[in-house]
Amino acid sequence: MENKLTKEQIQEIKNIRENGESLREIALKFKVSPTTIRYHLNKENLKKNYKKWYNSLSKEKKKEIFKTNNQVARDYRRNRYHSDEEYRKKCIEASTNWRKNKSNSIAEVVKGGKY
C-alpha cells in the first residue's frame, strides 16, 4: 500500500503536533483522516517499544513465541489447502517444480563426479 504522505510531510506533521495542534486540524490541512495522522505519529514509538519488549524476553519465551507463530501459519496454510482448490493446485505445482529442480541439481552433482 502506498503512503498518502511523504516523509517530509510526516516530519512537518510531527513539528506541528509538537506545537500543540490537534489531530483533526492537522488532518484537515493534509486532507487525510485523523487516524492516518495518529498512525504516522505513533509508528516510530511502536517499533521502538516492540524492540524493547522483544529484547527483554528470555530465550525460552522467544522460542515459544516463534513456535506459536509458526504453528498459526501452518494451521492457516493447512486449512486453506483443504478449502481452496486454486491454492491447492498452486501448492502442488510448486512442490512438483521444486522436486524436479532438486532432482536435476542432484543429477548434475552426480554427473559432475562429486559423489
The pLDDT score that the predictor gives to residue 115 is 44
Give the predicted TM-score (pTM) of the model.
Answer: 0.42
pLDDT of residue 42: 87
pLDDT 10s per residue in the chain (115 long)?
Answer: 467 789 899 999 988 988 888 889 999 999 999 999 989 888 877 777 777 888 888 999 889 988 888 888 899 889 988 999 998 998 888 888 888 887 666 556 545 554 4
Residue 65 has a pLDDT of 86
Place of cell 487516524: 35
SS (H, E, C) 29-98: HHCCCHHHHHHHHHHHHHHHHHHHHHHCCCHHHHHHHHHHHHHHHHHHHHHHHHHCHHHHHHHHHHHHHH
